Amino acid sequence: MKFFVDTAEIDAIAELNDLGMVDGVTTNPSLILKSGRDIMEVTREICEMVSGPVSAEVVATEADQMIAEGRKLAKIAPNIAVKVPLTWDGLKACKVLSGEGNMVNVTLCFSANQALLAAKAGATFISPFIGRLDDINLDGMELISDIRQIYDNYGYETQILAASIRTVNHAYQSAMIGADVMTAPPAVIKSMAKHVLTDKGLDAFLADWAKTGQNIL
């Protein structure tokens, strides 16, 4: 499974990238706002750091303007994936931008029907939002499973990018179902290393080591 980092914070990306935990980055207007930086500047810096896809989102709502914004974003770097919303206009923009050779990430997917349309429109990535479905008492993982089956049934090459990942269980379940990619905040990715028994075992080892009175260095 590929790991995309869902942030526009350069330091957080760099830390994970140094460990080989970054296969790509996703950003959106909300994350750019949190970073407090210019969208073009911060996106360019991320693209220089990360070799994999970096999603940069359009903010227009009509197809022609989405296409114009997408073309401008795509010029930032060769690894830009233009991010468009899963609306009818977004699908039109996806078709044009992908037809021009750009990677396109179709975001805000909440149904298998939407995912099917995105694949037919040439999306590189489809981003089903797990956490937001959980918020309204629907099973986000069921959506990932349904999309996986549909794509496998017909050989669609669109990659399933599990998004709105909020917990380590979301990450684990997405991997078990067969999502191609997950995008998660740095804190969630780092939390995947934690386990109470690991901490307990380490404490016991260190207590025994202290009793030996020895030093390795």
Report, as residue numbers or ranges, the catalytic residues: 83
Query: At which residue do the structure tokens 């207007």 appear?
Result: 29
Q: What is the DSSP letter of 36?
A: T
**CA 11/CA 23 separation, integer angstroms:** 16
**CA 192/CA 171 separation, integer angstroms:** 8
SS3 216: coil
**CA 31/CA 137 separation, integer angstroms:** 25
- For residue 127 the two structure tokens come to 């981003």
- For residue 163 the two structure tokens come to 């998004």
- For residue 175 the two structure tokens come to 């991997």
At position 134, the amino acid (one-letter code) is D
- For residue 147 the two structure tokens come to 């999309």
**CA 142/CA 139 separation, integer angstroms:** 5
